[in-house]
Structure 1
Amino acid sequence: MIKINKDLNQIPESLKPATTEYYNPLSSVPVPTKTTHLHRMKMINDGKYTDETKYNKRYKYDDIRTALGAIYLSKCAYCEQKIELSHVEHYRPKDIYHWLAFSWDNLILACPHCNEYKSTHFELSGTAVTFTNTAANIRSINTLSASYYFRELPKMINPEITDPLPHIKFKVDGAIESNEIRFKYTIEKCKISRTYLKDERRKLLNDFKDDIAAELLKPNKAGQIAGIGALVDKFKRDSKKMTNPYIAFRRYAIRHNWLKEIIKELL
């Protein structure tokens, strides 16, 4: 997990409320936006989410998926793997927070596995909010989820709000862990330490180790030193390239001198 920066003012067109604050005259509201807003108001009036295709597709519109793909760099919000098949996921479950089903600050990008494991897990340490249908709340519907954060104190982490860096730790085998209750909950429920992810993270170090070993086979000492230095520099550059997967693991390895330990071991 890494911190994600989303501009809550850059709301995708299809998620905007069909109100005069956004469209004047109302006759200028685009059809997709108007339809989504009608569905939003139906959920609010019904007091529940209706799990049907015509409603489910409203939060997966191309402009939403494109915007989230750019923000998350086509990586999962939780495990950070690159994903071709991404799910537009609700941070706060739509079955519980029906009024946020089409809200910009409640939509994140997740891989199918983290999305499935996360499911509707959403325990709170604080007080659950309720929704009142007022004009002000409808106007701010795309930022309400973020405004609930410090009242509800959810155990499930939202990387758009909380920076994971100070709270997560890795092991050299690729496992991720935390002593902080919210991160422990998120890692457990989303299974971010599952075998596949551990293997993929560990492979980054194994590949580095193999490359260093290959450099040490060179007969020239100066060539060895130059080659090793180039590999260390490349690992560091890759940890700054945000489109790469597992940035948090790469940076943790650098901060904790794992690269130096690998080189020392081989020498």
Structure 2
Amino acid sequence: MIRVDRGPKPEGLEAIRKVEVKRLAALAREAPPKAKDFGNRYNITRRDLWKAQGRTCCYCERRIDRLYNDVEHFRPKTRAYRGQGRPMHGYWWLAWTWANLLFACPSCNRRHKKNKFPLARGSRILPAGHRPPGPERAILIDPSGEDDPIEHIQFVPFRQAGKKEKWIPVARGGSRRGKRTIQVLKLDRPALVTDYGDHVSDLVSHHVKAIREAIHAGDGRIVAKAWRSALRTLFYRRQAFKALSHDVLDHHFPPEVRRQWGLELERP
């Protein structure tokens, strides 16, 4: 998972938000709005989000080459499972709020995150109509929030004799939020772990080998050229699994090696 910059709000979204929030507020006075009450006018944001995220899922970073996938509500609109016996009403007033919308693959959104939105112990729930975060302390990492997901989630190699090397996401430095985000989104699910391994073996390893060979040759110009080539390819805007690529490079070429050769590894 990497940071997401949505860019400017799509034209027309604010007008839709004002109308829809007023409509839902009337319903909410009687009972919490149900899924059928929302419609799908927030889908006006789908193309903008898809492009802003480089056509990748906001959570798992898989490539999404078709536009029919999901507009994801970070704070769930209908019901929110916050844990610890808390109320389960959703954040209906944020269903058309630009800062609450992301683009996600069906596996992350529908199968795993669903309506889960755990809060830290002792955290109060955001009052209806208020802007987040307010008094809430969300445990899930918001890829468009203030925190850099890479500070909380790290990919590490896992080796078994006679088997292909795997790269597994773990909580960086024991981050509780990183651990919980991995658990909720199932970022270590087998299908994804397979994709991670394929990405490393099919693409990243080629650049790691080229950089190593350049370092072995001792020519700084060749090292810098190989490094720049890796960064251009692995952190291309539409490239999948950029957080994984970052951690693979960091693993094979730790800070002391990068300092020696004047190499910079910025977070994607």
TM-score, normalising length: structure 2: 0.70
Could you tell me which runs of 5 or more consecutive residues in structure 2 were left unpaired when the two chains were aligned: 79-89, 158-165, 211-216, 258-268
Deviation at 1:46, TM superposition (A): 4.2
Q: Aligned partner of 2:238: which letter? A: T
Residue aligned with 2:116, SS: coil
Does residue 1:90 correspond to 2:93, yes or no?
Answer: no
CA gap 1:90/1:34 in 2 versus in 1, 3 angstroms: closer
**Of 58, 76, 80, the match for 2:61:** 80
Percent of matched pairs sharing the same residue:
26
Mapped partners of 1:82, 1:43: distance in 2: 38
Deviation at 1:33, TM superposition (A): 6.6
Deviation at 1:211, TM superposition (A): 5.2
Task: Give yes or no for contact 2:17–2:96 (8 Å, CA) kept in 1.
Answer: no
RMSD, matched Cα? 3.1
Does residue 1:130 correspond to 2:127, yes or no?
Answer: yes
Task: Give yes or no for contact 1:211–1:231 (8 Å, CA) kept in 2.
Answer: no
Task: Give yes or no for contact 2:156–2:247 (8 Å, CA) kept in 1.
Answer: no
CA gap 1:42/1:154 in 2 versus in 1, 3 angstroms: same
Q: Which has the larger radius of gyration?
A: 1
CA gap 1:88/1:46 in 2 versus in 1, 3 angstroms: farther
> Equivalent residue for 1:152?
136
Mapped partners of 2:242, 2:31: distance in 1: 40
CA gap 1:104/1:241 in 2 versus in 1, 3 angstroms: same
CA gap 1:106/1:55 in 2 versus in 1, 3 angstroms: same
CA gap 1:68/1:97 in 2 versus in 1, 3 angstroms: same
> Equivalent residue for 2:43?
60
CA gap 1:106/1:209 in 2 versus in 1, 3 angstroms: closer
Mapped partners of 1:43, 1:70: distance in 2: 34
Task: Give yes or no for contact 2:21–2:93 (8 Å, CA) kept in 1.
Answer: no
Task: Give yes or no for contact 1:167–1:180 (8 Å, CA) kept in 2.
Answer: yes
Task: Give yes or no for contact 2:24–2:33 (8 Å, CA) kept in 1.
Answer: no
Residue aligned with 1:56, SS: coil
Q: Report the number of matched residues.
A: 219
Mapped partners of 2:243, 2:205: distance in 1: 22
